[in-house]
Amino acid sequence: MKFLDQAKIYVRSGDGGDGVTAFRREKYIEFGGPDGGNGGRGGDIIFEAVPNLNTLIDFRYTQHFRARKGGNGAGSDRTGAASPAVVIKVPIGTQIMDDDRETLLADLDEAGKRVTLCRGGDGGFGNANYKSSTNRAPRRSDKGWPGEERWVWLRLKLIADVGLVGLPNAGKSTFLSVVSAARPKIADYPFTTLHPQLGVVRLSMTEEFVVADIPGLIEGAHEGTGLGDRFLGHVERCAVLLHLIDGAAGNVVDTWRTIRHELAAYGGGLAEKPEIIALNKTDAMTPREASARRAALQKASGAPVLLISAATRQGVPELLRLLQDKVTASRKDAQDQS
């Protein structure tokens, strides 16, 4: 399945049904009076977050959604049928943006969350509604109210607990394949990962968390260099960022500063998120090189640095335990606040 995290669609709710002008005509009833019914309500446009979707690819082929018009009224005081709502199912984490791509209309960040984006028009009144003591035979009936229409942008931000960030070829895909059942593409050239990947890490029967691997960042990503930084939106909801650095490539301090600069330039609170720094590919370094580069990185970042090798799993269990503790603490804080 191809991954798509942005789509533009057109939605229109249904118009209300028309009221009618009708009079009761029955044998032996001389003054039947008005009995025109009201029109039915038009269908709504509703968005719903469902757990079994993880891409917006369906909206590349279906871009227009229209609800039906409400039924017209009829004689004998019969009200027109209300039209059913059109329910558009989207992945959890989908944001609905206005056509300007800046105004947030809705954020469907929980399974089962629904939002009515366009309400159907009300039905028009039939002439029976206008009957009064002074107007015994009204001939007035109203048209139904029009529905609402608009173009909107759908933007998917994956729901994950841990976000993997780093330069291309830092070993993020290898790490994801080792700690989860995900099978991302792995190769010895930059930008092997072109789309975000999700993996579930299970430490025990009761402990698990979701990891999101996004395409690598390079200097100037916030200006569109490389694949740009739009995939950073998929780690905005993460509780903690795992910053993987290729220790065998050298210049670990410059690498760390490059990624931190891109996170700060993107915004969205990414620069303030808790960060765990891991120096990867220790199997390709001598112990002396690993120790020196770790010390330099700790001095520059002011935070502890873990030594791991995703290929040999050296230091990986300890890193996963640390990530699980961070995620568990974040979930507890969220529950306390709610």
Mean pLDDT on 1-23: 88
Q: In this structure, are 136 and 237 located in the same domain?
A: no
Please identify, among 103, 124, 154, the residue that sits at the C-terminal boundary of a domain: 154
Decide if pLDDT at 246 tops 90: no
Decide if pLDDT at 209 tops 50: yes
Q: In this structure, are 253 and 205 located in the same domain?
A: yes
Please identify, among 123, 154, 185, the residue that sits at the C-terminal boundary of a domain: 154
Which runs of consecutive H residues, i.e. helices, occur in 144-205?
Answer: 172-179
Decide if pLDDT at 227 tops 90: no
Q: In this structure, are 193 and 239 located in the same domain?
A: yes
More confident: 58 or 11: 11
The pTM (predicted TM-score) of the whole model is 0.75
**Binding-site annotation, residues for Mg(2+):** 173, 193
Say how far apart CA 326 and CA 163 lie, in whole Å. 12
Mean pLDDT on 129-158: 91
Mean pLDDT on 178-183: 77
Q: In this structure, are 105 and 16 located in the same domain?
A: yes
Q: Which of the residue ranges 66-75, 123-132, 202-211 would you say has the lowest mean pLDDT?
A: 202-211
Please state the domain count of the chain.
2
Q: Which residues of 284-295 are buried (b: 16+ CB within 10 A; e: fewer)?
A: ebeeeebeebbe
**Binding-site annotation, residues:** 166-173, 191-195, 213-216, 280-283, 309-311
Q: In this structure, are 191 and 279 located in the same domain?
A: yes
**Binding-site annotation, residues for GTP:** 166-173, 191-195, 213-216, 280-283, 309-311
Amino acid identity, residue 253?
A: V
Decide if pLDDT at 226 tops 50: no
Q: In this structure, are 140 and 215 located in the same domain?
A: no
Q: In this structure, are 165 and 293 located in the same domain?
A: yes
Q: What is the pLDDT of residue 24?
A: 87
pLDDT digits (tens, 9 = 90+) for 262-295: 888 877 777 888 888 888 888 888 889 888 888 9
Q: Residue 20 sits in a domain of what CATH number?
A: 2.70.210.12
In terms of Cα–Cα distance, which of 325, 311, 241 is closest to 278? 241
Please identify, among 135, 154, 173, the residue that sits at the C-terminal boundary of a domain: 154
Which runs of consecutive H residues, i.e. helices, occur in the chain?
Answer: 58-61, 172-179, 252-266, 287-301, 316-337
**What DSSP letter does each residue of 268-305 carry, written as one string?**
TTGGGS-EEEEEE-GGGS-HHHHHHHHHHHHHHHSS-E
Q: What is the pLDDT of residue 163?
A: 83
More confident: 310 or 233: 310
pLDDT digits (tens, 9 = 90+) for 147-180: 999 999 998 887 778 888 888 877 888 888 888 8
Max CA pair span of the chain = 109
Decide if pLDDT at 18 tops 90: yes
Give me Rg for the CA atoms of the chain.
29
Residue range of the domain that includes 194: 160-335
Decide if pLDDT at 56 tops 80: yes
Range among 129-133, 148-152, 239-243 rated most confident: 148-152
